[in-house]
Each structure stands twice: as structure tokens, then as C-alpha cells.
Amino acid sequence: MNNMDTDYKVLILNLPSPQNQTLWRDTAGGYGTSLHYPSNVKVNSSTPLHPFLPYAASVLGDAGIEFSVIDCQRLGLNNHQTIEIAKKISPNIIFSIISLPSMHNDLEVLNAIAKSIQNVTTIGVGTVCRVMPDEVLSKNKIDLLLRNSYPYINGMIELIKTLQKANPPKNLDGISYAANGQIINTSDLPEFEFDKLPNPNYDCIPLEGYDTFPDKFGHRRPYVLIVDSKGCPYGCVYCAYPLGYGRKFTFRSPSQIVDEIEYLHQKRGINIFAFKGQSFAYNKTHAKMVCDEIKNRKLEITWFCESRVDEVNQEYLTRMKEAGCERIHYGVETGDIATLKIAKPGVTLEITKKAFRITKMNNIATQAHVVLGWPDDTRETLENTRKFLLDLDPDVLNLNFLTPYPGTKIYDLACEKSLLLTRNWSNYTSHSVVMRTKSLNADQLYAIKNRIIRDFSLRKIETLLSDHYFQNLNSPQQFVGRMRALVNKALFPSLD
């Protein structure tokens, strides 16, 4: 262990959600998504523990650096409370994730902290910092951006050591900063070997107060995100995954993954996990080894993951179920044949139907992620999507509006065709219309989304009731539990 100056302190600060929002910093390829709420509505704004926090704690601890981890989202802190707690800690360096829909608020808080703490260095990380460094630095006083890759820890120690010695960071790779009215971007950092990712350090992180996952009775249980892999080679025109996580799939070893799960299960009482890889089934050999490792250790856990519809099969799903898989998130994107050729080349509606059918046969719940508002979407194409979703009958439906994230092909197209309605990043939530289609405006898109939600919810309630959902109940508590599960499934689709 390399011991550094014990008076030199680093703060890993997960900034608060903007007022009246629930913010997920780890979605949309790391750009983040959010939901806005009226000021008079009280909501549960808990989100999952971001993997950056335990991984940053790991590399800082191994380097002998004094550090603190403060998760303002978990604590429900507002901007003022965040500034005060940072002042109390009085660190030399602050690392924070900058997200797109919260960018204005994130930078406002960091600017206020910089004014309040003498000689503090504020550093931003995340997909926004990788793709949009000039935008982040041009009108703000944040000192540096570390343009590293998920989970944003590579290059941290080298940067801290450089700053501690009062050396300029201009000779380091992956750094962006403002100097003399110009934005300086040094060469990109080389990708680190993902299979050598250190074990995350949860010892200094309370696991209470984070997001929960509903079990089959509607009771919500805490869960933890597990980084099993990263990268996405498909290059879909709208997707920010390659921007945030890279195009090359890289994997942690199955034993290392399950070591982390076993520790959290046995030592911290966590029974539910979410694999963060962009497609759990991409490398079937790796996925099978993870499943076998869970089974061989006889871990009584449940988990959920993302996968593509063209990567699953009966054998694979059976193995997943035996290892505790309870839900799979699939990118359905659209129910229109022509649009699907653009949205997800190589996938057909029949492939999607088969994936959902065999997943249900294995008693694994399905979540369909759907994107509304493709450039060529019309009332007719969106009606095709509505009918397809009713026929597909996923357990959970997550409807999003096409969001042209900077750096994607769809962003360039939206600019070229004058389809963008705003460049106010606070509206880039995935739930707000920021891009019209060639024939539909924002109001029309909102109306179509509301109709799909209404029809899906009614169909789901009818199905649940017709399946004797409330039979064989032995107590009022069971009835309430089933009602809660029904509402969770049909009326309030999860954003997990």
C-alpha cells in the first residue's frame, strides 16, 4: 500500500437529484434518465447504489488515500445540505458523476462548493464528461474532467498523485480543463483491463435507503447492481451504450462476480441483484459459468438482467432460471416492421415474440423497453407498436421517447433534419419529448403514449383477474399483497 499524505482528503460525492425529480445516473449509457414530479407531489426518489462509489472506495483504499463517500441521493439531501456537508468534510479533491438531465444542477452545486472550500479541486466523471467536455467546462468553474470509462475509476490515482504534488495535469491522458479561455483535452486514456477490475469496497457504504425491487407478492426488497461486463458492439443508431461503455465487450471472471454476490448476500443481507452488463446473454459461455457458479455455491438469491431478444434460447433460459433469474429486460423498441429494421437491425418481430414466449415458459418475468418517436413514426406505425405490445403482453412495460443523445447517429440526424425541439439538457430525461418526428409533434406523441399505457394497463388487469389472481388466498394480508403486485405490474411500470 502506498501511503499518501494523511492530511490529503478525497471526497466521492454523489450529487443530489434535482428538486422534484428522481434521477437514475447509471442508465442511458451513463447519460442518466429522470422523472419530473409536480412540486406538491411527494415521491420516493430512491435509486440504486451507483457502482462508481464502491469501486472508487476500493482503489482509493488500496492506494492508502484518506477518503469519504457521501451519497446525497440515498440521504435525500438538497443542494444546500450537500454544500454544507462538503464544507464540513473540507476535502482537497471532490469526484462527482455529471449526468445529462441533471447537468445544470450538478454543476451549480459543484460551483457553490468550490466557492465555499478554499483550494478544493472539483473533478467530474461520467459519459457526459467523456462525450461533452467542452459543454461541461465552457460556462462553469469545475476544475477538471476525467474522461475515463465505466465505472470511472481508471486514471483516478494518477490524477490524485499529480494534484497532491501540485503538478499540472496537462501531461496526463484523459483530462479536460479550461485554460486562458480555451478548453484543453489531452489524449484519451487507454482502456483498462476489465477482467482486472478490483473488488468493490462496500465496507464504508451503508446499503439501506437505496432502490428496491418488487417480489412476486409486490413486497419491495433492496437490491445491488453487479458489474458483470461492459461494452456493446451493436451500434444501434440511437443507443448511448457504446459511448459510455465502449463497443468491445469485456467481462469480469465468473468467480469474481459471484464472490461479490456471496459477500453481499452473506455479510450484508442482500438477496436480490441486478447484472449491469448491456446483454447478459451475449457471451453464452460466460453467462453459463456465472449461473453454474451461483448454483454450485447454493446461493438462495434472485436476480434480473438485460438481454437482446436474438441472444436467448431455451437451454440458456432454463439455466438462468435455475440460478435464480426472476426477470429479463428486453429492448423491444418498436412494433412496426419497417421501423425495427432501423431501430434494431437483424431482429424481427417474430424473434421478439419467440424470446418473450420461451422466457415466460421458463417462469421468468419479462420487461419490454419501447421507444416512441422515431423520425419516421406516424400514427400508423405507433398503432402497430400499440397492437404488438398488447399481443406481446410483457409483465412490465417501460415506454420512453426517443432521446437523441449527443454523440449518437440519431442526434446527428435530428440536427440535420431540424427535428430537435430543444437543447435544454434538463429535458433529456427519456420521458420528455425533445425531438419531434417528421409528421408528429410533441403533444401528439404524449397522447399516443398515454393511450398505450391505458390500453396496456386495462389489458393487464383483465388478464390478471381472469387468471384467478385472487384465488387461494388465506388471509387479508395475502389479498393486500396481491393487490399491491397487481398495481405495480399494471399501472406503475418499473424503471429498473
Which DSSP letter does residue 50 get? P
Q: How confident is the model at residue 127, as a pLDDT?
A: 96
pLDDT of residue 216 exceeding 90, the answer is: no
pLDDT of residue 477 exceeding 80, the answer is: no
Q: How sure is the predictor about 490, in pLDDT bands with cuts at 50, 70 and 90?
A: very low
Q: How sure is the predictor about 492, in pLDDT bands with cuts at 50, 70 and 90?
A: very low
pLDDT of residue 1 exceeding 70, the answer is: no
Nearest residue to 215 via CA among 326, 49, 366? 326
Q: Between 79-89 and 103-116, two packed helices, what is the crossing angle to 10 degrees?
A: 40
Per the model's pLDDT, the better-predicted residue between 392 and 235 turns out to be: 392
pLDDT of residue 327 exceeding 50, the answer is: yes
Mean pLDDT of the chain: 89
Q: How confident is the model at residue 382, as a pLDDT?
A: 97
Nearest residue to 324 via CA among 256, 262, 255, 271? 271
Residues with Cβ within 8 Å of 322's Cβ and at least 6 positions away in sequence, in order, are 291, 295
For residues 76-96, average pLDDT: 96
Nearest residue to 93 via CA among 181, 156, 28? 156
Q: How sure is the predictor about 283, in pLDDT bands with cuts at 50, 70 and 90?
A: confident
Cβ-contact 111, 140 below 8 angstroms = yes
Q: DSSP assignment of 173-238, as one string?
A: TTEEEEETTEEEE-PPPPPP-GGGPPPP--TT---TTS-EEE-TTS-EEEEEEE--EE---S--TT
Q: How sure is the predictor about 130, in pLDDT bands with cuts at 50, 70 and 90?
A: very high
CA distance 29 to 266: 31
Antiparallel, parallel or unpaired: β 229-230 and 66-71 = unpaired
Q: How confident is the model at residue 486, as a pLDDT?
A: 56
pTM above 0.85, yes or no: yes
Per the model's pLDDT, the better-predicted residue between 493 and 247 turns out to be: 247
Point out the least confidently predicted range of 178-182, 213-217, 358-362, 410-414.
213-217
pLDDT of residue 162 exceeding 90, the answer is: yes
Per the model's pLDDT, the better-predicted residue between 496 and 229 turns out to be: 229
Please give the share of the chain, as a percent, with pLDDT higher than 70.
Answer: 91
CA distance 293 to 299: 9
Q: How confident is the model at residue 203, as a pLDDT?
A: 93
Cβ-contact 223, 211 below 8 angstroms = yes
pLDDT of residue 4 exceeding 70, the answer is: no
Q: How confident is the model at residue 2, as a pLDDT?
A: 39
Q: How sure is the predictor about 495, in pLDDT bands with cuts at 50, 70 and 90?
A: very low
Point out the least confidently predicted range of 185-194, 360-369, 463-472.
463-472
Q: How confident is the model at residue 167, as a pLDDT?
A: 86
Instruction: Give the helix/strand (H/E) hosting 455.
Output: helix 442-466
Q: DSSP assignment of 295-328, as one string?
A: HHTT---EEEEEE-GGG--HHHHHHHHHTTEEEE
Q: How confident is the model at residue 219, as a pLDDT?
A: 74
Q: How confident is the model at residue 472, as a pLDDT?
A: 59
For residues 154-182, average pLDDT: 92
For residues 301-317, average pLDDT: 93
Q: How confident is the model at residue 213, as a pLDDT?
A: 85
Which DSSP letter does residue 426 get? G
CA distance 192 to 463: 49
Q: How sure is the predictor about 218, in pLDDT bands with cuts at 50, 70 and 90?
A: low
